Amino acid sequence: MTKACNPAFSRKALAAITAINFSALPVCAGEVEVLHWWTSGGEAKAAQSLKASLQLKGHSWKDFAVAGGGGDSAMTVLKSRVVSGNAPAAAQIKGPSLQDWAREGVLANIDDVAKAGHWDDLLPKVVSDQMKFKGSYIAVPVNVHRVNWLWINPQAFKRAGAKAPSNWDEFFVAAEALKKAGLIPVAHGGQNWQDLTLFEDVALGVGGSDFYRQALVQLDQAALNSATMEKVLGTFKRVKAYTDKNSPGRDWNLASAMVIKGEAGMQFMGDWAKGEFIAAGKAPGKDFICTPSPGSAKAFTYNIDSFAMFKLKNETNSLAQKDLAATIMGPEFQETFSLNKGSIPVRVGVKMDKFDECAKQSSSDFGSSAKAGTLLPSIAHGMAVPSAVEGAIKDAISQFWNSDRMSAREAMQQIATAARTK
Ligand code: BGC
């Protein structure tokens, strides 16, 4: 039951009056509607930990889950809700899109929460910059996912006599061995965001970090129209022969399940896939192996989940919304959430002792790649370019992946044109 309360008399003020019996006082219990797309096994467990943390503060959680990996469906639903003047309190929005939404004037300023929580000191600058619009926080970061991972079933590899690949030549040797052993070499979900996830891994592994940055972050036309790009596209398309005929339309978590069950040998996916392995009771190093996607060990493509906070009219709900933001940046939540989600904490200084080897490697590679200049935003996960450009490139990549006729050269021209989308 929501008790009547004076929003100005906030939890903070209550905390100051230590002599009073807390539970007897009317606490400002608000409701926070949260839009997200965390519906798979591992994702749902992680989302549940966020809901529980909010409820612990006395607020209620209104779930607004829109299924669909990568979040394209969620973004479409969000647009129609905001246009009709009915925005949720918080929505999972990432990367440059945060700026687009802020420019619309619909996001709330949460500088007071950020200041009280010392966010500027606790976040890498590359992250805090993205959470701010005109110098003010409008979003809270949740975690850091690494995209350039390859997930391997070691039993399947053993059966095929295959070795975990560290470059693309080795990848094709392993894929061939798995195929000969009667296994599906690559579990792929043929949805455009998964095609682009694989493509960016190939671009990084075949072209290298500088090429990745020039072509997929800076959208440099010379890099997009280069011999390297043609080679990347050729390599990307070669992978298709190692996927199964049921891959079109498959959800990413079903592809993970194929690796978990040993029907398939490997999957290219960010480390939210680890959340699926863990939720299925599998242990890293034993039941599954995480290794950087071929040729990308020294680089790190990042994908930072974040929640943008929308302007609300109801003052109590707005206080609850701020409590949600503060909770997300809390060290306990940062740990629990990432343990379930497969990611690493975004807040610096969170202890990694409860995390597994994959997460520890991710954490150390995040730091070393930042120093080496090989920390790169994932284009497939909304980190690198405006969403309209990403959408156009994504369509061109999938068209090439699905076509029997389109040459790498034709695809290259289409992608270069897509990169000019305004
Ligand atoms: C999100 C992850 C999510 C994944 C699959 C990514 O874009 O950042 O949080 O688990 O999509 O839905």
* Atom of ligand 1 minimally distant from the CA of 253: 5
Provide the pLDDT for residue 22.
46
Looking at residues 383-391, what average pLDDT do you find? Answer: 97
**Cα pseudo-dihedral 268, 269, 271, 273, rounded to 10:** -100
The response to whether residue 70 sits with its C-beta less than 6 Å from ligand 1 reads: yes
What mean pLDDT do residues 263-289 have?
Answer: 98
Question: DSSP strand E in 335-403: where?
Answer: 344-345, 375-377
Report the distance separating Cα 185 and Cα 175, nearest Å. 5
Q: What are the residue ranges spanned by the domains of the chain? A: 7-145+304-345, 149-301+371-418
Alpha carbon nearest to ligand 1 atom 10, residue: 272
**E strands within 210-343?**
264-268, 289-292, 300-309
- Distance (angstroms) between ligand 1 centre and the Cα of 69 equals 6
Handedness of CA 401, 188, 416, 207 (dihedral sign): negative
Cβ(165) – ligand 1 distance below 6 Å: no
Nearest CA to ligand 1 atom 9: 305
In this model, does residue 23 exceed pLDDT 50? no
Question: Is the predicted pLDDT of residue 99 greater than 80, yes or no?
Answer: yes
The closest-lying atom of ligand 1 relative to the alpha carbon of residue 343 is: 9
Return the pLDDT at 11: 52
With vertex at residue 353, the alpha carbon angle to CA 348 and CA 359, rounded to the nearest 5 degrees, is: 70
Find out whether the beta carbon of 390 lies less than 6 Å from any atom of ligand 1: no
Q: What digits encode the pLDDT tens for the residues 139-174? A: 999 999 999 999 999 999 999 999 999 999 999 999
User: Is any atom of ligand 1 closer than 6 Å to the C-beta of 272?
Assistant: yes
201 within ligand 1 shell (Cβ under 6 A): no
Greatest CA separation for the chain: 76
Separation of CA 70 and ligand 1 centre (Å): 5
* Cβ 157 vs Cβ 178: under 8 Å: yes
Q: How far is the CA of 303 from the centre of ligand 1 (A)?
A: 8
Work out the number of other CB atoms within 10 angstroms of the CB of residue 135.
7
Q: pTM for the full model?
A: 0.94
DSSP strands (E only) in 181-331? 184-186, 264-268, 289-292, 300-309
CA-CA distance, 325 to 344, in Å (whole number)? 18
d(C-alpha 133, C-alpha 129), whole Å: 8
Q: From atom 5 of ligand 1, which residue's Cα is the shortest distance away?
A: 69
Q: Quote the ligand 1 centre to 117 CA distance (angstroms).
A: 26
At how many degrees (to 10) do helices 272-279 and 331-341 cross?
80
State if residue 95 touches ligand 1 by the CB under 6 angstroms criterion: no
7-145+304-345 falls under which CATH superfamily?
Answer: Periplasmic binding protein-like II (3.40.190.10)
252 Cα–ligand 1 center, Å: 10
Burial degree of 357 (CB within 10 A; 0-12, 13-18, 19+): exposed
How much distance in Å is there from the Cα of 272 to the middle of ligand 1?
7
Q: What CA–CA distances, in Å, run from 62 to 225, 315, 349?
A: 47, 17, 31
**What is the DSSP code (8-state) at residue 24?**
G
Of residues 157, 212, 202, 163, the one with CA closest to residue 295 = 202
- Mean pLDDT throughout 48-67? 97
> Each residue of 322-343: pLDDT tens digit?
999 999 999 999 999 999 999 9
Nearest to 47 by CA among 72, 23, 74: 74
With beta carbons less than 8 A apart as the criterion, state whether 221 and 415 touch.
Answer: no
Mutate to test the pocket of ligand 1, among 37, 40, 146, 256 (most ligand atoms within 8 A of CB): 37
Our answer on whether the CB atom of 145 is closer than 6 Å to any ligand 1 atom is yes
Other CB atoms closer than 10 Å to residue 129's CB: what's the count?
10
- For ligand 1, whether the C-beta of 36 sits within 6 Å is no
Same fold yes or no, 7-145+304-345 and 149-301+371-418: yes
- Reported as a pLDDT band with limits 50, 70 and 90, residue 12 is low
Q: Is 71 in the pocket of ligand 1 (CB under 6 A)?
A: yes
Which of the two residues, 59 and 1, has the higher pLDDT score? 59
Report d(CA 297, CA 365) in Å as an integer. 8
Going by C-alpha positions, the residue among 307, 184, 176 that lies closest to residue 254 is 184
Residue 73 pLDDT > 50 = yes
Question: How many whole angstroms separate alpha carbon 26 and alpha carbon 59?
Answer: 12
Mean pLDDT in the chain? 94
The predicted model gives 48-66 an average pLDDT of 97
Do residues 380 and 178 lie in contact, with contact meaning Cβ atoms separated by under 8 Å?
no
Nearest CA to ligand 1 atom 11: 70
Whether ligand 1 lies within 6 angstroms of the CB of 401 is answered as: no
306, β-bridge pairs: 141
When the candidates are 3.40.190.10, 3.30.750.24, 3.40.50.150, 3.40.228.10, the CATH number that belongs to 149-301+371-418 is 3.40.190.10
Q: Is the CB of 381 under 6 A from ligand 1?
A: yes
Which stretches does DSSP call E strand in 16-58?
31-36
Distance in angstroms (rounded) separating the CA atoms of residues 390 and 396: 10
Residue to mutate, 305, 307, 341, ligand 1, most ligand atoms under 8 Å from C-beta: 305
Give Rg (Cα) of the chain. Answer: 22
CB–CB of 393/197 below 8 Å?
no
